[in-house]
Structure 1
């Protein structure tokens, strides 16, 4: 009934602009909750009680209302929602004149009422889904039974393997945030695009986590199926970026996390996707579609995974190198050398150096560090250590 209370006066005002007769709306207890005659609102309406009891339209002329308080001539008809009579429409005027309008106005009120209830139900489901996603992804400690209750509510299988796809759209929604109706429709459109691009059919959870992040928890039957999905992830991510760009959303980053056993631990997949986006953005890697299936991305991220304890242990080997006068130049030369497959000619070409100049620099590095620049095993250790140092030229 709350839906009718919220729209009652709005409906009355809308109808009164085109209907030449005053109208009223009563609730399921016979109290007037909307009327073109404001002083009647809040009063109990005897004809409405009779209509609710008989569940049929009743006509009231001057003769049969003379002894009834707060009643005007006209017709009153029940308002029905989902086969339940939950209110009454009254049209004031001579019954013979107002009766032809009764069914038309009744249908309009019921339709508006139904749309309002559906909109409220949809909004409630959307907000509840967002709350659920926030609960399982952003909390360190979650309650298994609570997750199962939510899963049942949204018809999700709790024990199915899933992985998280995270789409970050930055501040793209902020200019429109004041218009709730438009922003809700826009968010629905973006979610449909995500679901379509990543070919979700059922048992998935897709929602906004906040105004910047969209998450898709996609079910998967096996690790083999997950691996197959990763192979297609880059192309699908690029397709989604292009789709979003058509809607003037240009700042998009997408990442995929690892496979999780159930909804209870899917936050690990989300955290991994978030870290990938962070790494990718910090390293300036484009396009902004990130997964561990991308070996170029992995090779860039690897040095960031080396902990400080390991670096401390080898620091004595690097101390003199780091303190050398031409450290940045030599470090940049060495990194380019490694990324050129330890090929002197390729490195010299990339750095626009004479071959002899490059060889001189490599020998200088060997003198300072005692490593063999022709040994892959030696080079990879120094390469990883140098990639940690922000002073190294890009």
Structure 2
């Protein structure tokens, strides 16, 4: 049966090709969409007959007097999968509108078919999203989950690597009906699974590759950036089995949290210090950086200086050159910084605390 929302959409689409009034009617004879809003909800006997007999019905001015709710014109039954799903009517002198009839009918049936396949795609996508969600975030694969995998054609036996893809802010690419990469050659294997994961993420359950996956991820990111017209970040976990895929997902989360514009792709296996930093709660990070830097947060000149000093690996000569200041001026600023923070920039412990506090500060001021 033809949905009202689709009928209205079809009227809008077809109206641009023809000046005559149009109606869309369901198989019971009720007008569900029309270029004349006053006719919506009325019974159309001619359309009911066309649907019942599965043939076009020409409605003359004489028919207007004997058939309920009709106007002169033609009504054409619409078929999908060899059954009548609705009727489209074109109002006007039959001789004038007949030439349009078959064209409008075919065009409308194509729109119905396109909508059907889109609905199927979205249903399959939602089913796959729910399946992946249950697989990753529940207690592990159950017999029920494995049965669902069979229905969806998912091979749970292969080794997989979870890859999280994040778009900078919301991406229109992820809106319904916008993303379908079947025509994009992005190098996915038959057993790879790609689904939407929230409002600005995708998740890819990648079948284990024999080669280094970094070139593949770099190529994937470039394709997605071109399609989405926004920055894309990718975090990848390690290879996993059917029962340990959740661990790979958590690793991908950790890797994605480290990504930035300078490092848009991160493999969890390459993380070092970040493994520890990612596990520290945000309030603790904020409190730590506050303890170290509270006395200098308002000193922009000192903060800029210390950033460059650490970037230049504590080289006084390179720091002074970068800041375009005399070496004595640099000594003065560093001494003032040490006094205000009670840090010794020659002590490894203090420099480590400073580095971490600046790192945490950058996180919660982004």
Name the TM-score class by shorter chain: 0.5 to 0.7
Q: Deviations over 1:195-219 (max 9, x none)?
A: 82xx322122112212343321123
Aligned length: 291
Aligned match of 1:357: none
Other-structure match for 2:214: 234
Alignment of 1:362-373 (within 5 A): none
d(CA) in 2 for partners of 1:255, 1:267: 12
* CA offsets 1:282-336 (integer angstroms, 9 cap, x no match): 9x995743243x5xx45x568889xxxxxxxxxxxxxxxxxxxxxxxxxxxxxxx
User: Structure 1 unaligned runs (5+)?
Assistant: 221-225, 306-349, 354-385
**Structure of larger gyration radius:** 1
- Counterparts of 2:70 and 2:46 in 1: how far apart (Å)? 7
Please tell me the root mean square deviation across aligned C-alpha atoms, in Å: 3.9
Aligned partner (choices 220, 225, 235) of residue 254 of structure 1: 235
Deviations 1:20-51 (A, max 9, x none): 43332211212111223333321222222221
Aligned-pair CA distance for 1:91: 2.1
Q: Give SS of 1:211's match.
A: coil
The equivalent position to 1:164 in structure 2, one of 162, 165, 178, is 162
Asked if 1 retains the 8 angstrom alpha-carbon contact of 2:255 and 2:266, the reply is no
Distance 1:113 1:244 in 2: 30
Partner of 1:62: helix, strand, or coil? coil
Separation of aligned partners in 1, 2:49 and 2:145: 47
Q: Compare the two structures and name the one with the higher helix fraction.
A: 1
Aligned to 1:216: 204
Give me the whole-angstrom Cα distance separating, in 1, the residues matched to 2:69 and 2:354.
87
Other-structure match for 1:267: 246
Aligned equivalents of 1:239, 1:125: Cα separation in 2 = 26
1:154 aligns with 152
Partner in structure 1 of residue 353 of structure 2: 391
Do the aligned partners of residues 41 and 142 (structure 1) sit closer, same or farther apart at CA in structure 2, a change above 3 Å counting? Answer: farther
Q: Where does residue 24 of structure 2 map in the other structure? A: 25
CA spacing shift, 1:213–1:25, aligned 2, 3 Å? closer
Any unmatched runs of 5+ in structure 2?
Answer: 279-312, 317-347, 357-366
Counterparts of 1:192 and 1:138 in 2: how far apart (Å)?
30
- Taking structure 2 as the reference length, the TM-score comes to 0.65
Q: CA deviation at 1:87?
A: 1.0
- SS of residue matched to 2:213: helix
Do the aligned residues in 2 keep the contact of 1:32 with 1:42 (CA within 8 Å)? yes
Report the equivalent of 1:97. 96
TM score, norm. by length of structure 1: 0.61
Instruction: Indicate the residue corresponding to 1:125 in structure 2.
Output: 124
Deviation at 1:94, TM superposition (A): 3.0
Is the aligned partner of 1:200 residue 2:180?
no
Shift in CA distance, 68/390, structure 1 to aligned 2, threshold 3 Å: same
